[in-house]
Structure 1
Amino acid sequence: MKRAFWPDRSGASALEFGLIAPLFFAFLFGVIEFGLLMWTQVGMQHAVAVTARCASVNPALCPTDNPSAIAAYATQQAFGLSLPSSTFSYSAAACGSQVSANYQFQFPQILNLAPFTLTAAACFPA
């Protein structure tokens, strides 16, 4: 007795998983990478805001005549990120103490995407 091929349902779940799994994991990986990108942006914005305030209010901790000390302070304020101090820059502007940051967010090599430039800026007291 010969069984018909079409009514046979064995292996249907494995086939469905094989078709859907790459899309699911790509979506999951994309959500994780987007979360890391947003975490980096928020950490940079927090660092420049706190550092601009420090440069205006506390010259002993953030001396305005030493931009490298201000950049080092900003690096410490970046929410657990290990950004280089060259990411941050200080300038005295019309609005007060201005701190800005530029960082090249590198996606994993498997995606083969160009780096994404993140920027943040804050000026205190304005």
Structure 2
Amino acid sequence: MRGLRRFFGDDTGASAVEFALVVVPLLLFIFGTVEFSRLMWTRQSMQSLAIEAARCMGILQPQCISGTTYNAANTRNYVISRAGKLGVPLTSSDIALNNSDSCKSVSGFSTVTITYTFSSVAPRLVTALTGSTNLSASACFPNNV
């Protein structure tokens, strides 16, 4: 009986037990914040890149032309290289380009759509936070007439 009272009255390991109870939610919160931030940064980078590519196509910047005309292969290579500098590994199949499209029912626009599957060290956590790891960005820019 005395040993039992002594056992239940001893509080030397209370801090370790409290830490063990708090550390799992704390780590989930930290990793969730970091991964969600990475996802949002990637999404914003892709949107900026889509706008940049649509503008490149619309005003015929040197990176998107061959001679004096629009070139889809050059534009794709430009988008892939810019995405690589941002740390987003895109492939040709992730990029849809159209230099004679309509935007909001107005014709004469260049459009770019980029799709990307976000890779995470904690995919279930990111999916729980955002609903999906598939990202998409699109932009349109009027063609230089």
TM-score under structure 2 length normalisation: 0.73
Match of 2:18 among 16, 19, 29: 16
Give the AA of the match of 2:31.
F
Which residues in structure 2 correspond to 1:23-102 (within 5 Å)?
23-63=25-65, 65-78=70-83, 80-86=86-92, 87-92=94-99, 93-95=101-103, 96-102=109-115
Deviates further, 41-50 or 89-98: 89-98
Question: Does structure 1 retain, via aligned residues, the 8 Å contact 2:50–2:138?
Answer: yes
Shift of 1:36: 1.1
**Paired AA for residue 80 in structure 1:** L
Number of aligned residue pairs: give it: 126
Instruction: Quote the Cα distance in structure 1 between the aligned partners of 2:48 and 2:74.
Output: 17
Match of 1:116 in 2: 133
Q: Is the Cα contact below 8 Å between 1:88 and 1:100 reproduced in 2?
A: yes
5+ residue gaps, structure 1, are none
Structure 1 residues 110 and 9: alpha-carbon distance in aligned structure 2, compared to 1, 3 A threshold: farther
Q: Distance in 1 between matches of 2:126 and 2:140?
A: 32
Quote the RMSD (CA, aligned, Å): 2.6
Shift of 1:112: 8.5
Letter in 2 for 1:70: T
Classify the secondary structure of the residue corresponding to 2:140.
Answer: strand
Distance 2:59 2:16 in 1: 63
More helix by share: 2
Shift of 1:73: 1.3
**Is the partner of 1:6 in helix, strand or coil?**
helix
Greater displacement, 38-47 / 73-82: 73-82
Structure 1 length normalisation: TM-score? 0.83
**Relative to structure 1, is the Cα distance of residues 17 and 110 closer, same or farther in structure 2, using a 3 angstrom cutoff?**
farther
Q: What are the superposed Cα offsets for residues 4-53 of structure 1, whole Å, 9 maximum, x if unpaired?
A: 22221101111111111111111111111111111110110010001111
